[in-house]
Amino acid sequence: MINRVVLTGRLTRDAELRYTSGGAAVASFTLAVNRQFTNRNGEREADFINCVMWRKAAENFTNFTHKGSLVGLDGRVQTRNYENAEGRRVYVTEVVVENFSLLEPRSADERRQNNNQNAGGSYQNNNSGNFANNKPFSQAPQSTTNSASSNGPASSANNNPNDPFANNGESIDISDDDLPF
For the chain, domains (ranges, CATH) are: 5-107 (2.40.50.140), 129-181 (no CATH)
74 near 100, Cβ under 8 Å?
yes
pLDDT at residue 112 in the model = 66
pLDDT band at 129; cut points 50, 70, 90: very low
CA gap 57, 95 in Å, rounded: 14
Closest to 124 (Cα-Cα) out of 133, 113, 132: 113
In the predicted model, what is the mean pLDDT of residues 24-40? 91
pLDDT at residue 162 in the model = 65
Higher pLDDT, 151 or 58: 58
Sign of CA dihedral 6, 12, 14, 15: negative
pLDDT band at 126; cut points 50, 70, 90: very low
pLDDT band at 17; cut points 50, 70, 90: very high
Asked if pLDDT for residue 8 goes beyond 60, the answer is yes
3-class secondary-structure state, position 167: coil
Using CB atoms within 10 Å of the CB of residue 71, give its burial: 0 to 12 exposed, 13 to 18 middle, 19+ buried. buried
Least confident of 39-53, 121-135, 146-160: 121-135
Q: For residue 177, which amino acid is it?
A: D
